[in-house]
Structures are given as structure tokens and as C-alpha cells.
Amino acid sequence: MIKLFVGLGNPGPEYEATRHNAGFWWVDALARELKATLVPERAYHGLMARTSVGGHSVWLLEPQTFMNLSGKSVAALARFYKIAPEEILVVHDELDLPPGQAKLKRGGSHAGHNGLRDIHAQLGSSDYWRLRLGIGHPGVKSEVVHWVLKKPAPDQRQLIEDSIAHSLKAWPAMLAGDMDKATLQVHTTKPPRPKPPRPAPPATPQDAAA
């Protein structure tokens, strides 16, 4: 089961609405679902909430170390409470997915994401779960830093919020340890509703003569 839910982002109001903070947005939404309040915890270098669901302790964490030192916060909490890597879910922005998509996976490389890179190093393991929230790619590698630290356009922000709302539905399965079910829920998207047929325009004399 997932015991520790980690959202990645950067602290401070200037970063609050930027793409790199999508992980914070997800954990904020989960905190509202669980009626939990994130509070500063110096020992874990972040905002943390601890609650109980079905008799099981659950932790929510938003590192306040800046992205490239996220592992310092995650590892400190995981070590103290003896939470194994496979019991951790890290939610983060993903360049390789378009806004509106989310993917759940366990393990793998950090793929250049500085937050994941530091978590790998601090935990000494890559065997944790990741929920990847698509933010799209600027198309040019040299623009990536500017892209992730910039606010998405309103339509893109709405798509990201939609993917958060959809993937959030999987948290009960995650807590139950049914990661196959959680993965199916995250990866299954509703097909778009078919548009109703447009009414035919009224006939004209030219139509009648055709």
C-alpha cells in the first residue's frame, strides 16, 4: 500500500502557479479529500500532514527544499517512519505527456527530472511509485527550464486540473495496495462525448431547384 504521498514543486508564491508545481497541486487536492492540513515540519524540510484512513497512517508531503533537493525531505520522513520505497508515491510534472494525461508507474529512470534525480540519490533506490502529470514540451530542449517555471495558459491549466481530478480517484486503491486497479483507473480516460448532429439549414429556392 502507499503510505507516503509526495508532491513535487518549488516553494514560494512566485512558483505557486508554474508547471513545475503540478505535484503540489495534486497533493493539495488529496489533502482536501482527506480533510488533512499540511503544516511546516522542519525535521522533514517540508509541509507535512499525517492522517488515518481505515486504521492506517497516511502521510502527505510537499518538500520545501526547492526541486533539486527534494530527496532531502522525502528521505528524512521515510527513514524516520520506516516507509519503504515501494510504499511511496511521488507526483510530478511530466514533459513527455501532453496536458490532460497522467500515467502511473513504479521504478525506472529519473529521465532528467531534478526532483526525481535527488530522490533516487537520497533514498538509494528508484523503486518508488510515480504519478506523472503531463505538462507538455516546449519543443526545444533549451526552452525546458523556462517552460517548467512558467504558468501554463488557462486552457492548459484546466487540462492539468482535469488530469488531477481524474487520477485522484485512484487514491483509495493506492491505499488498499491494489496498484493494478489504481493504474487502470489512472490510465482509463472517458471517451469524448459525441457532438449532437447539427440541424439541417432551411431549404432555399436554389436547393429546391437542384
Whether 92 sits among the annotated catalytic residues: the reply is no
State what percent of residues in the chain have pLDDT above 70. Answer: 90
pLDDT, residue 202, reads 57
CA angle, corner 70, sides to 83 and 82, nearest 5? 10
Q: Give the pLDDT score at 205.
A: 45
Nearest-5° Cα angle at 9, 186 to 117: 85
Is 70 exceeded by the pLDDT of residue 1? Answer: yes
pLDDT of residue 192: 45
Residue 110 pLDDT: 84
Q: Which of 174, 70, 47 is nearest to 123 (CA)?
A: 70
Question: What letter would DSSP give residue 195?
Answer: P
Best CATH choice for the domain 4-58+66-191 from the list 3.40.50.1470, 3.30.70.20, 3.40.50.300, 3.60.10.10: 3.40.50.1470
- Mind listing the pLDDT tens digit for each residue in 33-49? 999 999 999 999 999 99
Task: Note the pLDDT tens digit of each residue in 136-153.
Answer: 999 999 999 999 999 999
Q: Is the pLDDT of residue 208 over 50?
A: no
pLDDT range class, residue 196, cuts 50, 70, 90: low
SS3 184: helix
Q: Does 111 have pLDDT greater than 50?
A: yes
CB atoms within 10 A of CB 194: 6
Residue 78: the pLDDT is: 98
Render pLDDT for 151-174 as a digit per residue (tens, 0 to 9): 999 999 999 999 999 999 999 999
Segment among 9-13, 105-109, 206-210 with least mean pLDDT: 206-210
Q: Is the pLDDT higher at 139 or at 109?
A: 139
Q: Is the pLDDT of residue 181 over 60?
A: yes
pLDDT at 112: 82
The catalytic position among 20, 45, 113, 120 is 20
pLDDT of residue 108: 86
Global confidence as pTM: 0.88
Sequence spans of domains, the chain: 4-58+66-191
What is the pLDDT confidence band of residue 26, given thresholds at 50, 70 and 90?
A: very high
The C-alpha cell 527550464 sits at 145
- Cβ atoms within 10 Å of 165's Cβ, excluding its own: 11
What is the grid cell recorded at 9? 514543486
Cell numbers found for residue 42: 522542519
